[in-house]
């Protein structure tokens, strides 16, 4: 399911839960953490890391992930965070967790984000709007990337293991794996995964689960998953027929919503008081009254008039200016353009149908 656009890391007073213990928070924060005295200052990087060993489905140019990092490179503990459905690494606030003693925080941009054409967002908002709204960016479809039909949890967990092993490098030894929404489910799946005879939980010193997991973790907002075997078979047939991307959040094209969100952030960050260029391109439920400036448009989209409650933020925890900067990117971005249709039902099978369907 789609989680809040800006999910939080553990607050600065939290400690990691022991592996196997479920913990979570609904708090949101994009403030900067306080470095531990005597350690190098917090740094922000967007680091490419190799993905799963051996070629995954698709070209070798996609066999990598990106990992934004915050905090001291000398930290002995690394908190690795995995975002939820339709969320990219920019949705996870790394700085507060990096303020924990001797902790560096990483977020994971899955290999799916390699499919997104984000270069246009390096331009001014007006030029970026012309580029994307004019349809001049690189688009992906089942015809251009048919191999996404085979991007399931097995590949995602193999990619994630490379990140975890990189975090353990240099003798740090302490890796806490966390996630938000379906990312929390992914973290649990990692802990229980058999990596060639090596249990995933042995790589970890703890788990942090934010508004997600298994066993009706989303029931609090009336979302329960009871995927039957017949439903799973029907969805697999649709995927085989070309429905490789989840279309749950779409405005014409799979990536349209993500593009509009990033443009809205760019305008709010650079021209907050100007009338919104995007207004005419928004669907009626999201279109603001005349005269609403860019900053207020962003507030409407995520605070007062969100498309769905899951896409709202708490301004007391995530100020509008922080939201604008996070959305503007260009990398890491807040939203993931393309979510494989294979992932969600396979993650759902972790509870009642794991034995029959397995993690593919």
Q: Is 1 part of a structural domain of the chain? A: no
Q: Which pLDDT does position 217 carry in this prediction?
A: 67
- Split into its structural domains, the chain has a count of 1
Q: Which two tokens stand for residue 272?
A: 């907050």
Q: Is 2 part of a structural domain of the chain? A: no
Q: Which pLDDT does position 52 carry in this prediction?
A: 81
Give the CATH number, domain containing residue 253: 3.40.50
Tens of pLDDT, residue by residue over 41-90, are 334 578 889 988 766 789 999 999 999 999 888 888 999 999 999 999 99
| Alpha-helical regions (H) of 100-181 | 125-133, 153-168
Domain residues for 305? 7-357
Q: Is 329 part of a structural domain of the chain? A: yes
Q: Is 337 part of a structural domain of the chain? A: yes
| CB contact at 8 A, 107 and 94 | yes
Q: Is 199 part of a structural domain of the chain? A: yes
Q: Show the beta-strand stretches assigned E in 83-223.
A: 92-93, 103-107, 174-180, 194-195, 198-199, 206-210
Q: Which pLDDT does position 10 carry in this prediction?
A: 31
Q: Which pLDDT does position 25 carry in this prediction?
A: 27
Q: Which pLDDT does position 26 carry in this prediction?
A: 29
Collect all residues with Cβ–Cβ distance below 8 Å to 332 and sequence separation of at least 6: 46, 66, 68, 88, 89, 90, 107, 109
Q: Is 152 part of a structural domain of the chain? A: yes
Q: How many CB atoms are located within 10 Å of the residue 202 CB?
A: 9
Q: Is 261 part of a structural domain of the chain? A: yes
What is the pLDDT tens value at each position of the chain, 360 positions in all?
A: 333 334 333 322 223 333 333 332 222 333 323 222 232 333 457 888 998 876 678 999 999 999 999 988 888 899 999 999 999 999 987 667 767 888 999 999 999 999 999 999 999 999 999 999 999 999 999 999 999 999 999 999 999 999 999 999 866 679 999 999 899 989 999 999 999 999 999 999 999 998 876 667 677 777 777 778 888 889 989 999 999 999 887 777 899 999 999 999 999 999 999 999 899 888 888 899 988 999 999 999 999 988 877 788 888 888 899 999 999 999 999 999 999 999 988 887 765 433 343 444
Q: How many CB atoms are located within 10 Å of the residue 52 CB?
A: 19
Q: Is 212 part of a structural domain of the chain? A: yes
């Amino acid at each position: 399911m789609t989680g809040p656009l800006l999910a939080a890391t553990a607050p600065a007073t939290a400690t990691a839960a022991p592996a196997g213990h479920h913990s979570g928070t609904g708090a949101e924060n994009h403030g900067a953490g306080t470095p531990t005295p005597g350690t190098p200052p917090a740094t922000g990087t967007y680091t490419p890391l190799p993905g799963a060993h051996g070629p995954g489905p698709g070209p070798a140019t996609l066999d990598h992930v990106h990992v934004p990092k915050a905090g001291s490179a000398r930290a002995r503990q690394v908190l690795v965070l995995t975002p939820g459905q339709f969320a990219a690494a920019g949705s996870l606030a790394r700085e507060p967790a990096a303020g924990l003693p001797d902790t560096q925080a990483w977020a994971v941009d899955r290999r799916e984000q390699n499919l997104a054409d984000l270069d246009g967002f390096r331009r001014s908002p007006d030029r970026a709007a012309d580029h994307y709204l004019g349809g001049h960016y690189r688009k992906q479809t089942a015809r251009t990337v048919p191999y996404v039909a085979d991007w399931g949890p097995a590949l995602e967990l193999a990619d994630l293991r490379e990140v975890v092993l990189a975090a353990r490098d240099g003798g740090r030894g302490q890796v806490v794996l966390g996630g938000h929404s379906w990312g929390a489910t992914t973290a649990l799946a990692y802990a229980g995964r058999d990596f060639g005879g090596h249990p995933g939980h042995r790589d970890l010193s703890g788990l942090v689960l934010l508004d997600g997991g298994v066993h009706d973790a989303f029931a609090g907002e009336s979302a329960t998953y009871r995927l039957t075997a017949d439903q799973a078979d029907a969805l697999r047939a649709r995927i085989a027929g070309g429905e490789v991307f989840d279309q749950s959040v779409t405005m014409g094209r799979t990536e349209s919503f993500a593009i509009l969100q990033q443009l809205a952030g760019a305008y709010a960050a650079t021209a907050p008081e100007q009338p919104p260029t995007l207004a005419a391109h928004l669907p009626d439920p999201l279109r603001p009254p005349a005269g609403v400036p860019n900053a207020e448009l962003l507030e409407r989209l995520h605070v007062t008039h969100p498309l769905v409650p899951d896409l709202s933020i708490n301004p007391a925890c995530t100020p509008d200016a922080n939201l604008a900067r996070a959305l503007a990117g260009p990398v890491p971005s807040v939203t993931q353009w393309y979510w494989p249709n294979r992932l969600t039902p396979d993650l759902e099978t972790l509870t009642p149908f794991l034995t029959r369907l397995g993690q593919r």
